[in-house]
Chain A
Amino acid sequence: MPPDRLPSPLARAALRMMPVAMLQRMIEVLMCGMRREHPKLFQNLLRLNPAVVRIEPTDLPHRFILAYGKDGVSLTVVPNAPQPCSACIKGKLEALLDLLEGRSDGDTLFFSRGIEITGDTGVVVALRNTIDREEINLLDDATGWLGPFAFPARRAIVLVDRLALRVRSRVEEICEESRR
């Protein structure tokens, strides 16, 4: 049975290992899929005041910049160093993916300190509301372009995810045994 969402442990493991150039290329493919699946999201982002939002998944080595304005909408991998931006959103990858895919409530996450925001709160609220207007599924957007191969691709992702979970639990068992 293919998953209905991108498995975040797998995504985290893959993103951790991925070189910046490859990650940037993957983001471009994903953005292409999202433009095709969610044209209104991009129209609505361009209706907002131009902004540069830094996204910091705290459990990943990578940092991202989402920019929207007169030059369109872009998502770029950036070095882990302070840079000028309108606002910054920090949180674990899973929390950020849940927000993006509409599984979590942003206020609840913020008030329970599951995410942190700094900078222009108006930018973050506008972005959050604009994204929440859409029904986003990253797995669909990432594999949609494969056409008839999308289903087997999702199936392959399940198998890799299960394998990764098995490997991780085996590694944890070995570590536990070696500690005894």
Chain B
Amino acid sequence: MTAPYLELVCPAGTPASLRAAIDAGADTIYCGYRDCTNARNYPGLNFDQDEMIEGVRYAHERGRKVLIAINTFPRAGDEKPWHQAIDNAAAAKADAIIMADIGVLDYATKHHPSVRRHLSVQASAANALSIAFYRERFDVKRVVLPRVLSIEDVAALIKQTKMETEVFAFGSVGPMSEGRCFLSSYMTGLSPTSEGVCAPASHVAYKECGDCMKSCLGDVTLNQFAKDEPAPYPTPCKGRYVTQGQASYLFEEPIGLNAIDILPQLKAAGVTALKIEGRQRSKAYVAQVVGAFRKALDALAQGSTESFAGDLKSIAEGGRETFGAYKKGWR
């Protein structure tokens, strides 16, 4: 099963980014509301309902789609913000809602059955049984696969499930069990899964320390880097910790995922859509990454084998790129 066309799904943290993504060639935009219901709940970011309606209108007028991410997990006894967000997304005429929590999926299925449902990567559905459950119970049309699968795994899953799949093409590597990570909540008391804040900015501090800079999350020092050394994201998974007297990246290296040079393999695997990560990044980032992927996809559609490696290196985390789990070398 080979997808005839790879849909380019791009991030928008603000209305300006949404326009930038569409103008740079995105087929589809994903974005979220300005609250705890989406997994990028950072200050100054995201959309209110008026902006969402206007954003959907801007996209639809140009023949593009908007997906709204309502992909965090409601807190016990406080599901109202998630239900309100679902109602708002339906009213804004979203082309689909991206969800992870089964209660939220259930609410959307019952109250807005005609709105298409996608399964967020936060649900961490990485096997055929799990995907089948979401499809059978909530009529989910598309699953966003976690970044832990090789291309062969992705191809096998698509063959087994016959589901539309969306895979990450650019952004963080994220080999954690997605939607299950609580590391930063141990340090800040705020959870990425229910408040949408991985390493909340209000708890991050950079401190000069002689010729070095220290990054801290709450009371924990995550890293110390020299004057001209690239700085990674201040998340616990990208921390450089001292064990047995030696500082090293115990969980993840600061390196960016970039699948731009394996698009033919992803297409051959039957992938439906490519996801660009970065709702917390600027419109300049969005325009650059989307533009590069548009160029690569158009070249692919014309049968070109041109390499685009290196075009996005400067904006990848740590200035380094990897194919991540798509070409696993560590299992």
B77 interfacial by beta-carbon distance below 8 Å = no
Q: Give the A interface residue count (CB, 8 A).
A: 30
Interface residue B314 (Cβ < 8 Å from any Cβ of A): yes
Closest to A125 in B: B201
Q: Decide yes or no whether B102 CB sits under 8 A from chain A.
A: no
Verify if B232 is at the interface (C-beta below 8 Å from A): yes
A153 neighbours in B (Cβ, 8 Å): none
Shortest 6 CB-CB contacts between residues of A and residues of B = A129-B44, A122-B202, A126-B43, A125-B201, A105-B285, A121-B204
Interface-located stretch among B86-94, B125-133, B223-231, B292-300:
B223-231
Taking a contact as CB atoms under 8 Å apart, the answer to whether A48 and B284 are in contact is no
A76 to B204, CA, bound (A): 27
The answer for the CA separation of A151 and B4 in the assembled complex, in Å, is: 49
Q: Mark B274-300, 1 if CB is under 8 A from A, else 0.
A: 000000111111001000000000000
Contacts of A107 in B (CB 8 A): 280-282, 285, 315
Binding site for B on A (CB under 8 A): 44, 48, 102-108, 110-113, 116-118, 120-122, 124-130, 132-135
Q: Does B79 contact A (CB under 8 A)?
A: no
Whose C-beta in chain B lies nearest to the C-beta of A131?
B44
Q: Decide if B317 touches A111 in the complex (CB within 8 Å).
A: yes
Contacts of B319 in A (CB 8 A): 111-112
Closest to A130 in B: B44
Q: Which residues of chain B come closer than 8 Å to A108, judged between CB atoms?
A: 285, 314-315
B43 touches which one: A102, A117, A122, A134 (CB < 8 A)?
Answer: A122
Q: How far is the CA of A104 from the CA of B286 in the complex (A)?
A: 11
Contact assessment for B281 and A105 in the assembled complex, using a CB-CB cutoff below 8 Å: yes
User: Are the C-beta atoms of B17 and A132 separated by less than 8 Å?
Assistant: yes
Chain B proximity of A79: nearest CB distance (Å): 21
Contact B283 A102 (CB under 8 A): yes
Q: Which residue of A lies closest to B217 (CB)?
A: A121
B190-208: contact bitstring with A at CB < 8 Å (1 yes, 0 no)? 0000000000111111111
> Is A111 a contact partner of B16 (Cβ separation < 8 A)?
no
**Do the beta carbons of B206 and A121 come within 8 Å of each other?**
yes
Which of A105, A113, A120, A124 meets B282, CB within 8 Å? A105
Residues A111 and B43 in contact, CB atoms below 8 Å apart: no
How far, in Å, is A97 (CB) from chain B's closest CB?
13
- Known pairs A108-B315, A112-B230; list 17 more (Cβ under 8 Å): A102-B282, A102-B283, A104-B284, A105-B285, A107-B282, A111-B233, A111-B318, A113-B231, A125-B44, A127-B44, A129-B14, A129-B42, A129-B45, A129-B280, A132-B13, A132-B282, A135-B16
- Bound form: Cα–Cα A107–B316 in Å: 10
Q: Which residues of B contact A122 (CB under 8 A)?
A: 43, 200-204
Closest to B226 in A: A113
Any chain A CB within 8 A of the CB of B270? no
